[in-house]
Structure 1
Amino acid sequence: MISQHDQKLAKLILEHSTELKKGENVMVQLIGLNGIDLMRALIGQIREAGAHPFVKIEDTEVQRMLIENGDEGFWKNQAKVDQLPLMKQMDVFIGIRASQNIYETSMASKEANKAYSEHFLRPVHFDERVNNTKWCIMRYPSPAFAMNAKLPTDKFTEFYYKACLVDYPQLAEAMKPLEKRLRATDEIHLKGEGTDIRFSVKGQNWIPCYGRHNIPDGELFSSPVLDSVNGHITYAPSVYQGKPFEFVKLIVEDGVVVDFDSSNNDALKDILDTDEGARRFGEFSFGLNPVIESPMYDILFDEKIYGSNHLTLGKDYEVAPNGNHSNIHWDLVCIGADVYLDGELIRKGRKFVADDLKGLNPENLV
């Protein structure tokens, strides 16, 4: 029997996130079998709405085998024959990430990851899905996910639905004063433990996120002026391409990473060497979800941590461009730095101190 939590989450995704319309084609992709109840809830409600679901269920072990053994020719063929023609016919894409092991692809080589990213992920997802469908991606709770969050499974499941089902209209309203300030800002300065970095966002577009593309959600993002980033920044734990990093530190000059340190420097160097854009930044964002407090090695949650920012290595988004092109997009998160806009302190640690922004503090949203 499908839980009421999953029925409510499916309703949110279809009515709020993707605004599903009768007759639309909807790809529902499930990676890992753990999220089958949410898929069932979605398929039932999609048909009730008179839309057309296209189901893709992918086993994480098979996906690992394909990524580890795939090369340029294989992924070009996969995109050309299967995924890209189908994606071009979709009006809506819903992705459920239900893997039990976030390190499944950790043994894939640099060359294998590059082939997958450049010849499959970029054309199918970055270029087609992101730009031409109404899309939404979410994780699904599991004991393994709870372990990464350092919580008992029942407590984590309770937290998961609370974080996913926040009051998004209230959050959207609370973001408006910050968006107004940012649109008038030239320089942003982050200063905290292990972090002292400045960059310009003058003239850049800002996008408020309140449950349209990610569940859970809660961020306000743009991109830095490409060559303006200078200083050093320290990030919280992260996982990218299946490889764990307990910390990442970057030194940046004129928008380019010139030195680095991490708990996994060989893997970090491989990522930074992916292409020229991998050492530059394609996004900057404020994390604003009032429920998410600490990292759990899952970027869809960690990038929304309240009192955080992510300064993202790699590709920009077309809705907030800065001209950076790359086959990576790694949302590394910095938690608790003081934030200055054109010299004015607006957030001290994790709490906004400017009067017009205090509505974004968790006690005023939960």
Structure 2
Amino acid sequence: MDPRVREHAAVLVDDCMDVAAEDDVIVIAPSVADDLVVALHERLGELGAHPLTLWNDSTALRAYFRAMDPADFRLPEHELAAMEAADVVIMIGGSENVAETSDVAPETMSARSRAREPVFNTRVEKRWVITQHPAPGNAQKAEMSTDAYADFVYDAVNKDWEAQREFQAQMVQLLEEGEEVRIVSGDTTDLTMSIAGMHGENDAGTANMPAGEAFTVPRPESVEGEVLFDKPLLRQGRELTDVSLTFEDGRVVDYDAAEHVDLLEATLDTDEGARSLGELGIGMNRDIDRFTYNMLFDEKMGDTVHLALGDAIDDCVPEGTTANESAIHVDMIVDMSEDSRIEIDGEVVQQNGTFVFEQ
């Protein structure tokens, strides 16, 4: 086994989740990540914790989804019971074929998301982390050799997270103190939103690994303007490109994409909250320096902003404050490296990818 796999497992168990002997741990993983699953079990065993592995096989899921009538989806009570009993949830990405579910109807996937919403809501209340195993399907989509992709993944995971936290804290403070954000990129994006009273959060190695962003939640009714997501989104095995959204009173009133508009439409129609934003994130990880069609990495790239349709991140929402609710949380990315700026309360805090505190 590559020694970096055991190092990755230790980062997840010890640094991200701080697992102890009394913890019941769910590991959700594809079979292609079995080395990391083995390393996780080894480390959990050393601590005396109790793991349960749920295999997430995309080929099996494709067969199930294509056979399933969308009207027959219901809450999976057994999965909910397992999630309720868990203390920690570790989710691992990795694929032999990133397009395995590309021929599943979008309406089927939306129906499943609605049925599983209580599972999702329970999971986010736990200590949880999402990570990536360097699988060949992901390497191929990134146009990298498997070995080069492994180097890319482990370089992004194994870094000085305390230094990264201090760097990002400067942006988090601006979000904490600000009331209105404006995002401008070329002639295609000019979007404003209120973040008044919302918390800024520092993603530096807990819920995401790799981490590397500052984020907050917009007040759902405040979002106005147009945005073009000029980085592709790989969703349900399909590539959504040049997604454009127009917001009025916080809701998407017009939309388009270069292809797979049906998938975009089904996503927006998932439920009432799917047409509003649940996150504003600002990428700040300079070690993620290339686009790889993997949102866990791509949304952390320096010189990017991402916005998420759907469910708001609870940690950013003060008690008693209304925020968006949905069965989905779908991130999409704007390249901010050229002819772009982020303003907070009228002051430019990033110009063409460079933050004011980097100058």
Q: If the TM-score is normalised by the length of the shorter chain, which range does it land in?
A: over 0.9
Of 225, 228, 239, the residue aligned with 2:219 is 225
SS in 2 for 1:107: coil
Q: Which moved more, 1:108-117 or 1:191-200?
A: 108-117
Deviation per CA, 1:182-203: give whole Å up to 9, x if none.
1111111111122111111111
Shift of 1:41: 0.5
Query: What pairs up with 1:2-17 in 2 under 5 angstroms?
Result: 2-17=1-16
SS in 2 for 1:76: coil
Which residue of 2 is the match for residue 345 of structure 1?
348
SS in 2 for 1:319: helix
**Structure 2 contact 173–200 (Cα < 8 Å) conserved:** no
Distance in 1, matches of 2:28 and 2:266, equals 29
SS in 1 for 2:219: coil
CA 198–61 in structure 1, closer or farther in 2 if over 3 Å, else same: same
**Structure 1 contact 237–245 (Cα < 8 Å) conserved:** yes
Of 258, 262, 266, the residue aligned with 2:253 is 258
Which runs of 5 or more residues in structure 1 are unaligned? 360-366
Which residue of 1 is the match for residue 296 of structure 2?
300
Distance in 2, matches of 1:178 and 1:204, equals 14
SS in 2 for 1:28: strand
**Structure 1 contact 292–302 (Cα < 8 Å) conserved:** yes
Q: Give, as a single letter, the amino acid of the residue that structure 1 aligns with 2:271.
A: D
Distance in 2, matches of 1:158 and 1:220, equals 25
Q: Which moved more, 1:228-237 or 1:12-21?
A: 228-237
Which residue of 2 is the match for residue 287 of structure 1?
283
Which residue of 2 is the match for residue 234 of structure 1?
228
Shift of 1:5: 0.5
SS in 2 for 1:177: helix
**Structure 1 contact 303–309 (Cα < 8 Å) conserved:** yes
**Structure 2 contact 274–326 (Cα < 8 Å) conserved:** yes
Shift of 1:118: 1.0
Distance in 2, matches of 1:299 and 1:70, equals 28
**Structure 1 contact 237–295 (Cα < 8 Å) conserved:** no
Query: What pairs up with 1:68-147 in 2 under 5 angstroms?
Result: 68-71=66-69, 75-76=73-74, 79-80=76-77, 82-120=78-116, 122-124=117-119, 126-131=120-125, 133-147=126-140
Which residue of 1 is the match for residue 159 of structure 2?
166
Which residue of 2 is the match for residue 43 of structure 1?
41
**Structure 2 contact 227–245 (Cα < 8 Å) conserved:** yes
**Structure 1 contact 28–53 (Cα < 8 Å) conserved:** yes
> Do structure 1's residue 247 and structure 2's residue 242 form an aligned pair?
yes
How many residue pairs get matched?
A: 349
Q: Which moved more, 1:304-313 or 1:293-302?
A: 293-302
Which residue of 1 is the match for residue 59 of structure 2?
61
Shift of 1:57: 2.2
Q: Give, as a single letter, the amino acid of the residue that structure 2 aligns with 1:308.
A: T
Shift of 1:70: 3.2
**Structure 1 contact 69–112 (Cα < 8 Å) conserved:** no
Which residue of 2 is the match for residue 362 of structure 1?
none
Of 143, 148, 161, the residue aligned with 1:155 is 148
Shift of 1:68: 2.9
Percent identity (aligned) = 31
Which runs of 5 or more residues in structure 2 are unaligned? none
Distance in 2, matches of 1:87 and 1:347, equals 40
Deviation per CA, 1:275-300: give whole Å up to 9, x if none.
22111111111111121123222111
Distance in 2, matches of 1:137 and 1:143, equals 19
Distance in 2, matches of 1:285 and 1:58, equals 27
Instruction: Give the CA RMSD over aligned residues.
Output: 1.7
Distance in 1, matches of 2:353 and 2:66, equals 40
Length-normalised TM-score, structure 2: 0.92
Shift of 1:157: 1.4
Length-normalised TM-score, structure 1: 0.91
